[in-house]
């Protein structure tokens, strides 16, 4: 619904005029989304309240499970003791791993689409690499690049890049054969087919891969920090477990959840903005097409 449509809807509502079936449908969709968000918030508040209540009455031992109030208190204490530095380290490693894996994975997927022979040769290797537990490569990563941030970023890249290649390649191959046949009949090269038909049709898949890699990049980063890091949220979780500081472990874990949710929200917002731009462009193309004179008459 455009801005003009919303203004017209408000005018009708102010004048007491009935809404059209389409406007009623859009209003119902909007209310449905708001209801889902409300229930999500209520469930979260209920779970936090139940957690706090069970630890307060002694049903759950706060030593093993911590509690929301203790997590808040620990977070406030850590903020004055270099906690932001650990957050920054983990966030930087995650963003670098996410960006590199997306760039490398998309480039390799495009190259494999351009070369069907290379795609057929590489398919079994991609399947095996995707099934390989990446944690098994941890000792090798330390030998190859050392026990610093490079190993952590490389772990995140290894976890994300194979999924990116396989998913993006499937998206590229899902283009309607009729479109490719039409372009081929017009003399289009494979690069031209990629630009004008394949990439636009694979855009939804690419956006889905972005969302998937948000979670995978965090998994890879924390997994790498478990192995080699001397700083970061993963390091704090390992350290807290070693000294039986459950409050520290849960505080770092909750912080990870919040950061991952924010990163996912940023990707979802970018997807929404891009979808809006594509919708406006299609509407403008339809208007331009309808305004063109029909030379055949």
Give 107 or 25, the one with higher predicted confidence.
107
pLDDT at 144: 86
Grade residue 178 by pLDDT with cuts at 50, 70 and 90.
Answer: confident
DSSP secondary structure of 196-228: IIIHHHHHHHHHHHHHHHHHHHHHHHHHHHHHH
Residues 44 and 101 in one domain: no
Q: pLDDT band for 297, please (50, 70, 90 cuts).
A: very low
Three-state secondary structure of the chain: CCHHHHHHHHHHHHHCCCCCHHHHHHHHHHHHHHHHHHHHHHHHHHHHHHHHHHHHCCCCCHHHHCCHHHHHHHHHHHHCCCHHHHHHHHHHHHHHHHHHHHHHHHHHHHHHHHCHHHHHHHHHHHHHHHHCCHHHHHHHHHHHHCCCHHHHHHHHHHHHHHHHHHHHHHHHHCCCHHHHHHHHHCCCCHHHHHHHHHHHHHHHHHHHHHHHHHHHHHHHHHHHHHHHCCCCHHHHHHHHHHCCCHHHHHHHHHHHHHHHHHHHHHHHHHHHHHHHHHHHHHHHHHHHHHHCCCCCC
Task: Give the model confidence (pLDDT) of 208-248 as tens digits.
Answer: 899 899 999 999 999 998 888 788 899 999 999 888 889 99
What's the mean per-residue pLDDT of the chain?
Answer: 85
Domain for residue 64, yes or no? no
Q: Which residue has the tokens 């007491």?
A: 16
119 and 243 both lie in a single domain: yes
**203-212, 222-231, 254-263, 288-297, range with the lowest pLDDT:** 288-297
Q: Is the pLDDT of residue 205 over 90?
A: no
CB 64 within 8 A of CB 188: no
**Does any domain span residue 133?**
yes
Q: Structural domain tally of the chain?
A: 2
- Domain limits for position 15: 3-52
CATH of the domain at 214: 1.10.3720.10
Q: How many CA atoms lie within 13 A of 139 on its CB side?
A: 1
Percentage of residues in the chain with pLDDT exceeding 90?
40
Give yes or no: residues 165 and 206 share one domain.
Answer: yes
The answer to whether residues 104 and 185 belong to one domain is: yes
Is 220 domain-assigned? yes
Same domain, 45 and 162: no
Claim to verify: residue 203 and residue 249 sit in the same structural domain? yes
Q: Is 286 a domain residue?
A: no
Please report which confidence band the pLDDT of residue 8 belongs to, taking 50, 70 and 90 as the band edges.
Answer: low
194 with 235, same domain? yes
Strands (DSSP E) found in the chain: none
What pLDDT, on the 0 to 100 scale, is given for residue 72? 92
Task: Please determine, for residue 7, whether its predicted confidence score (pLDDT) is greater than 70.
Answer: no
Q: What is the mean pLDDT of residues 166-192?
A: 86
Q: What is the mean pLDDT of residues 28-55?
A: 90
Q: Are residues 266 and 145 in the same domain?
A: yes
What are the tens digits of pLDDT across the range 47-88? 999 999 999 898 888 888 888 999 999 999 999 888 999 999
* Beta carbons within 10 angstroms of residue 281's beta carbon: 10
The 10s digit of each residue's pLDDT in 185-201 is: 888 888 888 888 888 88
Are residue 35 and residue 83 in the same domain, yes or no? no
Q: Please indicate, yes or no, if residue 9 is contained in any of the structural domains.
A: yes
pLDDT of res. 295:
53
Question: Do both 169 and 237 map to the same domain?
Answer: yes
Please indicate, yes or no, whether residues 83 and 213 belong to a single structural domain of this protein: yes
- Residue 194 gets which letter from DSSP? I
Residue 239 domain flag: yes
């Amino acid at each position: 619904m455009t801005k003009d449509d919303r203004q017209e809807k408000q005018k009708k509502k102010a004048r007491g005029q009935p809404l059209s079936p389409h406007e009623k449908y859009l209003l119902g969709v909007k209310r449905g989304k708001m209801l889902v968000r409300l229930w999500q918030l209520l469930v979260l508040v209920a779970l936090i309240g139940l957690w706090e209540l069970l630890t307060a009455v002694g049903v759950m031992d706060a030593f093993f499970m911590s509690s929301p109030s203790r997590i808040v208190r620990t977070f406030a204490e850590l903020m004055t003791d270099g906690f932001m530095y650990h957050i920054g380290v983990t966030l930087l490693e995650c963003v670098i791993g996410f960006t590199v894996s997306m760039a490398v994975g998309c480039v390799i997927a495009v190259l494999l689409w351009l070369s069907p022979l290379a795609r057929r040769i590489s398919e079994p290797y991609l399947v095996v690499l995707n099934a390989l537990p990446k944690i098994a490569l941890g000792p090798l990563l330390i030998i190859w690049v050392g026990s610093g941030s490079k190993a952590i970023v490389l772990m995140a890249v290894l976890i994300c890049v194979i999924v990116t290649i396989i998913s993006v390649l499937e998206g590229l191959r899902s283009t309607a054969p009729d479109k490719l046949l039409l372009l081929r009949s017009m003399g289009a090269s494979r690069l031209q087919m990629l630009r004008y038909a394949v990439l636009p049709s694979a855009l939804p898949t690419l956006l889905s891969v972005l969302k998937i890699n948000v979670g995978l990049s965090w998994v890879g980063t924390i997994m790498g920090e478990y192995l080699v890091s001397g700083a970061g949220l993963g390091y704090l979780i390992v350290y807290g477990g070693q000294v039986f500081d459950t409050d520290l472990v849960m505080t770092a874990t909750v912080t990870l959840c919040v950061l991952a949710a924010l990163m996912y929200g940023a990707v979802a917002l970018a997807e929404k903005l891009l979808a809006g731009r594509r919708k406006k462009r299609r509407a403008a193309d339809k208007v331009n097409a309808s305004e063109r004179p029909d030379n055949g008459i």
